[in-house]
Amino acid sequence: MTPAFTPLSAICGGLLIAAAAVLRMVALGRITGISGIVSRLLPPYKDHDFGSRLAFLAGLMLAPLLVAMSGQPIPHVLSGDAGQLAIAGVLVGFGSVLGGGCTSGHGVCGMASLSARSLVATAVFMTAGIITVFVVRHGI
């Protein structure tokens, strides 16, 4: 089952993502790339932003819990196949390392700064995502 497209919530979500990225850039001078934030929480520690990284990730995890506690339904589609999820996770992690960043770093911050590297990375992962959805939905 595919969730209904809701433009208002999509716009609000996009504005919140943009606000978080701008706030992090203004406050810390850092790009909001989730793969970079997560990787620098693991040893060896590369900088001294551990607290802000942990707070950022805690916010990412707490936000859906707060929405769920409000009684609002959270529409989502998730595979029940643990093997498929594990393979997807490995591929996303590999792609983030190979591409030198993730969708949030390249797609949000890099595109906003007109980075050529991010333009190419975003085109590649969007194309791969479109092909993947097509293949999965059509059983190819």
Please, where are the H alpha helices in 1-140? Answer: 7-28, 34-39, 50-69, 82-98, 111-112, 116-138
Return the pLDDT at 54: 87
Domain membership flag for residue 115: yes
Domain membership flag for residue 1: no
Query: What's the domain count of the chain?
Result: 1
Distance CA 125, CA 137 (A): 18
Domain membership flag for residue 44: yes
Return the pLDDT at 15: 92
pTM of the model: 0.69
pLDDT digits (tens, 9 = 90+) for 90-101: 888 888 888 888
Domain membership flag for residue 2: no
Domain enclosing residue 131, as ranges: 7-138
pLDDT tens-place values along the chain, 140 residues long: 566 778 898 899 889 888 988 998 898 888 888 888 888 887 777 667 788 888 888 988 898 788 888 887 776 666 678 888 888 888 888 888 888 888 888 888 888 889 999 999 999 989 988 998 899 888 88
Domain membership flag for residue 104: yes
Output the six-digit token pair for 123.
């085109």
CA distances from 100 to 39, 43, 94, 110 (A): 12, 19, 10, 11
